[in-house]
């Protein structure tokens, strides 16, 4: 069905899954040209752009997807993009729509916490950081970062407690 975006999208996804990203991109673009509202093609194109470090292109595609679908992977990528571009309030909003990814990822949780702090939502940041202190297998660097962010959020007693739990031989970065 050459006039429908679904076939092109499926082909683009199959090519991407087989590592043929350069071949997948124009096929996904063809699907979008047929139906600009077909969010599946836009999502896949945005994800490929993100993987290729073409973050502005990815954000442009994925912002369109976010308007059409509440896809959590899209929200996670847009949260990271907005965090990296120092749009912290927008980052925090996108992180809130990608809770599953944030809960499963220490780096995303750290970014979310910092975005909350920088957008003036210290209480929400402290709650997120408290959740993180209960995670198993945090390495000392992650513990240090959590303590630092707790201090940034004004939760000094909690920060001291996390700092105190660091191994004695943990270096004090200046």
Helix (H) or strand (E) holding 129: helix 122-133
Kindly state the percentage of the chain with pLDDT values over 90.
Answer: 70
Per-residue model confidence (pLDDT) at position 174: 54
Q: Which pLDDT band, with edges at 50, 70 and 90, does 74 fall under?
A: confident
* DSSP letter assigned to residue 91: H
Alpha carbon 93 to its chain centroid, in Å, reads 11
Helix (H) or strand (E) holding 127: helix 122-133
Rounded to the nearest 10 degrees, what angle do helices 55-68 and 39-51 cross at?
150
Per-residue model confidence (pLDDT) at position 3: 86
The answer on pLDDT for 66 being more than 90 is no
Taking Cα atoms as reference points, which of 79, 72, 14 lies closest to residue 48? Answer: 14
86: left (phi over 0), alpha (psi -120 to 50) or beta: left
Mean pLDDT of 111-125: 97
The answer on pLDDT for 68 being more than 80 is no
Euclidean distance between CA atoms 64 and 62, whole angstroms? 5
Q: Which pLDDT band, with edges at 50, 70 and 90, does 173 fall under?
A: low
b/e sequence 96-112, b meaning 16+ C-beta within 10 Å: ebbeebbeeebebbbbb
């Amino acid at each position: 069905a050459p006039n429908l975006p679904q076939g092109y999208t499926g082909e683009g996804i199959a090519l991407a899954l087989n590592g043929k990203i350069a071949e997948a991109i124009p096929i996904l673009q063809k699907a979008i040209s047929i139906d600009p509202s077909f969010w599946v093609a836009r999502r896949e194109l945005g994800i490929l752009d993100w993987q290729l470090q073409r973050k502005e292109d990815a954000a442009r595609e994925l912002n369109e997807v976010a308007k059409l679908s509440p896809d959590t992977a899209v929200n996670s990528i847009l949260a990271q993009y907005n965090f990296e571009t120092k749009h912290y309030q927008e980052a925090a909003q996108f992180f809130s729509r990608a809770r599953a990814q944030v809960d499963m990822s220490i780096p995303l949780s750290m970014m979310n916490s910092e975005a909350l702090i920088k957008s003036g939502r210290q209480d929400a940041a402290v709650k997120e950081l408290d959740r993180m202190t209960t995670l198993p297998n945090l390495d000392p660097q992650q513990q240090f970062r959590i303590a630092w962010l707790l201090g940034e959020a004004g939760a000094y007693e909690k920060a001291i407690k996390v700092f105190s739990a660091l191994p004695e031989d943990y270096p004090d970065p200046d």
